Amino acid sequence: MSDSNIREYNPAEIEPKWQKFWLENKTFKVEKDETKPKFYALDMFPYPSGSGLHVGHPEGYTASDIICRYKRMKGFNVLHPMGWDAFGLPAEQFAIQTNTHPAIKTEENVNNFRRQIQSLGFSYDWDREINTTDPKYYKWTQWIFKQLYNKGLAYIDEVNVNWCAKLGTVLANEEVINGRSERGNHPVEKKPMRQWMFKITEYAEQLLEGLEDLDWPEGIKEMQRNWIGKSIGAEVDFVVDGHDEKVRVYTTRPDTLFGATYMVLAPEHSLVLKITTDEKRAEVEEYVSAAKFKSDLDRAESKEKTGVHTGAYAINPVNGEKIPVWISDYVLVSYGTGAIMAVPAHDTRDFEFAETFGIDIKCIIEPNTAEAKAGDIDVASVLAGKACWTGNGQLINSANDDGLELNGLEVKDSKKAATEWLAARTLGEEKVNYKLRDWIFSRQRYWGEPFPIAHMEDGTIKVLDDEELPVTLPEMEDFKPYETGESALARAEDWLEYTCPKTGMKGRRETNTMPQWAGSCWYYLRYIDACNDEEAFGKEIENYWMPVDLYIGGAEHAVLHLLYSRFWHKVLFDLGIVSTPEPFQKLFNQGMILGISYKDQRGFLVANDLVDEKDGKYFHKETGEELEQLPAKMSKALKNVVNPDDIVNEFGADSLRLYEMFMGSLEATKPWDTKGVEGVNRFLRKAWNFVIDADGNIRDCIKPDVELSKESRRVLHQTIKKVGNDIEEFGFNTAISQMMIFLNEFAKVKEIPKSAVEDFVKLLSSFAPHIGEELWQKLGNTDTVAYAAWPEYNEDFLKLDEVEILVQLLGKPVTKIVVAANAGPKDLEAIALADEKVKSKIEGKTVRKVIAVPGRLVNIVAN
């Protein structure tokens, strides 16, 4: 292929050419370089699914690629890697169905993803490509597990897991939606199983505090805070009447102790059977066993309060009152102490329960009248115990003979007073609780990282030595899990057998594997030193690259992935293995791209292949019913998925990249419109024709030694400034607009300095790198444009000599005046008041005030 043949803009020709060039020349290979500032830009690596890339992937990748290309041209040493999060359930399901090793399908998918990603011209350093299923990678995942284990953060526990009989597998919480499996919508039940757990709860406070200094979207930080769910309250002991037993409850409202009219234990609470009276025993046992078999689905479907009185009574420590002890499944055994004091007057759940079972409701807070009115609550009803009040107010009926006097206090003051009183009498103490639970870190699957663990004959658990890593997956043919839920590994007899190389003791390997989170918890560290066979990553080089300066990905990972990897990172930090307390300094979430869809009169979505268009209206092919067009999530079922390959084939990768950035702001959810791709494609053709004539040569009007008019020069410098600033602020859509404005302006220019054309090509190359490189080369440059210096702008050239100023009378436009750009408020006022139009308008009126804003407007207040 000879370059001189390229006359018209032809992405099909130039794009593969430059992709090949970048790969062969390792243009984006990067090494540690102390002479340059470093910039680590990370994309959330994809799960290489069988259906390939969808248009949502390249959105975030394009944004980070533009920033990387910009940063390189600005002199930064840029680390920009890509890899594959390739363990996962779909590959295993496929393996089970076809009896082929999941690695085969995985490799196929990875190759397809790599091809697709490379066809979009991203500037990744491919020498750092990683794959979580590669033993060279998961050796170090296992090694990091060891670090956590040795720090005492991993343990085995018998816990209830989500068992899906239909899929024959255990599902992660995130794979269960409303009690049904995300894949296939099958029922899911709770089943106790032996699991590996991580004590992430030990890091709850650190994970919460660490959020403070991160440059993350506030919404994401808030979601993490909610997930961690810190609350400050008190634990209080209630003596059970006629027993030695005390029941400890957790409450965030110690101020409402005087309003406690009953108590509730979770059905699983250890004291339930001890305190139950004989006449209630049968009833209680029945409720407890029913609760055990109640699935999440049942719980999710029914919000009706149920429960049984145990027959026992507890003594309220503040007033000695006997209150009944109930059991109910609205109290969770896993949160707090698994028992609560119930204050129906001031807790909506307790109120519902008390109403259902006719338990006393005793008001002890007189609602703040303004708040009650705003919330549409009748104060009299609250005082009478007929309504529930959870807001602010003054305490009433809350005093005892033992020095506790809360009456008249506001809620926030009374909490402290009550807690102090309890603590002084050792009846309770202040207590902090977190919603965050320990992390179930094992899956009963084949296709995951094996644990570096063996269960020895003598009953001990052995962590394998570093020399024994990696523990690789055995070759198998049947990947179905056991009926018991144990993974297929339990069938790999040779593999299961373990002999300690030092002592010769025999053991059985762990048959659980790690969840998909494992590989993605630390991949950003491996990229730093991806080919290191000696360590997970070198300490010095980690110190150079970390933290990640920019992490771009979808908001669906807002909580789990980001929380889990922050947890691992904090552990590694405490162990001195990494140098920063947080992994991701800045986070940006790209929005979702929706497809075009149609809904009928009833509001049901209709698949796109059933829709006919006629005169701009849409009709159902079968029923003829008129349909309404609307954006909806892309899905195979609706047949509205846009495949990037098709867009690349029709318009080229540069057009796809540009369109995805031009659609709207990066974080917004926005609908795909292929017509819009035509628009940016037109822009790229204009950009080509701006530089290249019909014969494929540089246009004659581009000369090395001509000068621009002041106005054209201003537009050039304005464009340089705006594109750079917009990239820094993720305003890619407006940066593209500005480049369009530049071309519109320069279409009229008769003689163009070559330097101006080169400046434009450099700006464009960060967004549309293929056309950028091609034009750069055509302009006679021999080096890649990827490392050319980003153009500078001159603030002086941006200034206008004269500006148009709007003159308003009482905020309504009257006229426009042209004044010197540097005219001050006094000048503006004088010129405006001297204007004929203004004069006639204010004639006979008194000028009360004149507001003059230089460069903007003059507003005359006259009446």
For residue 267, the minimal CB distance to RNA (Å) is: 11
Residues of this chain, 161-180, that bind RNA according to CB under 7 A: 174
537 vs 659, beta carbon nearer RNA: 659
Q: Is 580 in the site for RNA (CB under 7 A)?
A: no
Q: Which of 208, 456, 181 is nearest to 297 (CA)?
A: 181
Q: Judged by CB under 7 A, which stretch of 332-340, 485-493, 649-657, 790-798 contacts RNA?
A: 332-340
For residue 753, the minimal CB distance to RNA (Å) is: 21
Q: In whole angstroms, what is the distance from residue 327 CA to residue 308 CA?
A: 5
For residue 217, the minimal CB distance to RNA (Å) is: 7
# residues contacting RNA (CB under 7 A): 78
Q: Judged by CB under 7 A, which stretch of 186-194, 360-368, 505-513, 556-564 contacts RNA?
A: 556-564
For residue 674, the minimal CB distance to RNA (Å) is: 9
174 vs 360, beta carbon nearer RNA: 174
Residues of this chain, 257-276, that bind RNA according to CB under 7 A: 266
Q: Which listed residue (545, 662, 690, 746) binds RNA by CB under 7 A?
A: 662
Q: Is 155 exposed, middle or buried (0-12, 13-18, 19+ CB in 10 A)?
A: middle
Q: Is 668 in the site for RNA (CB under 7 A)?
A: yes
Q: In whole angstroms, what is the distance from residue 468 CA to residue 445 CA?
A: 22
340 vs 572, beta carbon nearer RNA: 340
Q: Is 678 in the site for RNA (CB under 7 A)?
A: yes
What is the per-residue binding string for RNA in 769-808, x denoting contact by CB under 7 A? Answer: -----------------------------------x-x-x
Q: Is 277 in the site for RNA (CB under 7 A)?
A: no
Output the furthest CA–CA distance in the chain (Å, rounded): 109
Q: Which of 14, 81, 57 is nearest to 653 (CA)?
A: 14
Q: Judged by CB under 7 A, which stretch of 90-98, 298-306, 399-407, 752-760 contacts RNA?
A: 298-306
Q: Which listed residue (114, 191, 633, 713) binds RNA by CB under 7 A?
A: 633
First to last CA, the chain: 76
489 vs 819, beta carbon nearer RNA: 819
Residues of this chain, 733-762, that bind RNA according to CB under 7 A: 733-734, 736-737, 740-741, 744, 747
253 vs 443, beta carbon nearer RNA: 253
**CA angle (186, 189, 193) in 5-degree steps:** 125
Residue 365: what are its φ and ψ, rounded to 5°?
-130, 125
Q: Is 338 in the site for RNA (CB under 7 A)?
A: yes
Give the DSSP H/E element, type plus range, for residue 618: strand 617-620
DSSP letter string, 534-556: SSSS-HHHHHHHPSBSEEEEEGG
Strands 130-131 and 83-84: parallel
147 vs 608, beta carbon nearer RNA: 608
Q: Is 669 in the site for RNA (CB under 7 A)?
A: yes
Residues of this chain, 370-429, that bind RNA according to CB under 7 A: 374
Q: Which listed residue (161, 680, 761, 775) binds RNA by CB under 7 A?
A: 680
For residue 839, the minimal CB distance to RNA (Å) is: 16
Q: Which of 230, 150, 198, 223 is nearest to 568 (CA)?
A: 198
Residues of this chain, 831-850, that bind RNA according to CB under 7 A: 849
Give the DSSP H/E element, type plus range, for residue 614: strand 611-614
| 187 contact partners, CB below 8 Å, separation of at least 6 | 164, 165, 166, 179, 180, 181, 295, 297
Q: In whole angstroms, what is the distance from residue 304 CA to residue 245 CA?
A: 30
User: HSE of 663 in the Cβ direction (CA atoms, 13 Å)?
Assistant: 29
For residue 355, the minimal CB distance to RNA (Å) is: 13
Q: In whole angstroms, what is the distance from residue 455 CA to residue 463 CA?
A: 9
Q: Which listed residue (105, 190, 305, 509) binds RNA by CB under 7 A?
A: 305
DSSP letter string, 165-208: TTTTEEE-GGGEETTEETTT--B-EEEEEEEEEE-GGGGHHHHH
Q: Which listed residue (302, 369, 601, 697) binds RNA by CB under 7 A?
A: 302
| 527 contact partners, CB below 8 Å, separation of at least 6 | 42, 79, 81, 83, 128, 130
Residues of this chain, 95-134, that bind RNA according to CB under 7 A: none
Backbone dihedral region of 488: left (phi > 0), alpha (psi from -120 to 50 degrees) or beta? Answer: alpha
Residues of this chain, 341-360, that bind RNA according to CB under 7 A: 347, 349
Burial 696-727 (b: 16+ CB within 10 A, else e): eebeeebeeeeebeeebbbbbbbbbbbbbebb
For residue 670, the minimal CB distance to RNA (Å) is: 4
Q: Is 861 in the site for RNA (CB under 7 A)?
A: yes
Q: Is 718 in the site for RNA (CB under 7 A)?
A: no
For residue 508, the minimal CB distance to RNA (Å) is: 35
Q: Is 685 in the site for RNA (CB under 7 A)?
A: yes
Q: Is 722 in the site for RNA (CB under 7 A)?
A: no
Q: Which listed residue (91, 555, 761, 832) binds RNA by CB under 7 A?
A: 555
Residue located via tokens 């757990």: 197
284 vs 388, beta carbon nearer RNA: 388
CB distance 141 to 449 below 8 Å: yes
Instruction: Report how far apart, in Å, the C-alpha atoms of 722 and of each of 39, 452, 658, 669, 855 are.
Output: 22, 53, 17, 24, 19
Q: Is 682 in the site for RNA (CB under 7 A)?
A: yes
Q: Judged by CB under 7 A, which stretch of 92-100, 377-385, 570-578, 673-681 contacts RNA?
A: 673-681
| 574 contact partners, CB below 8 Å, separation of at least 6 | 151
Q: Which residues face 190 on adjacent strands?
A: 162
Q: Judged by CB under 7 A, which stretch of 24-32, 329-337, 487-495, 783-791 contacts RNA?
A: 329-337
Q: Which residues face 198 on adjacent strands?
A: 154, 439
233 vs 324, beta carbon nearer RNA: 233
Residues of this chain, 612-631, that bind RNA according to CB under 7 A: none
21 vs 335, beta carbon nearer RNA: 335
Residues of this chain, 199-258, that bind RNA according to CB under 7 A: 218-219, 222-223, 226, 229, 231, 233, 250-253
For residue 306, the minimal CB distance to RNA (Å) is: 7
Q: Which listed residue (127, 465, 540, 556) binds RNA by CB under 7 A?
A: 556
392 vs 781, beta carbon nearer RNA: 392
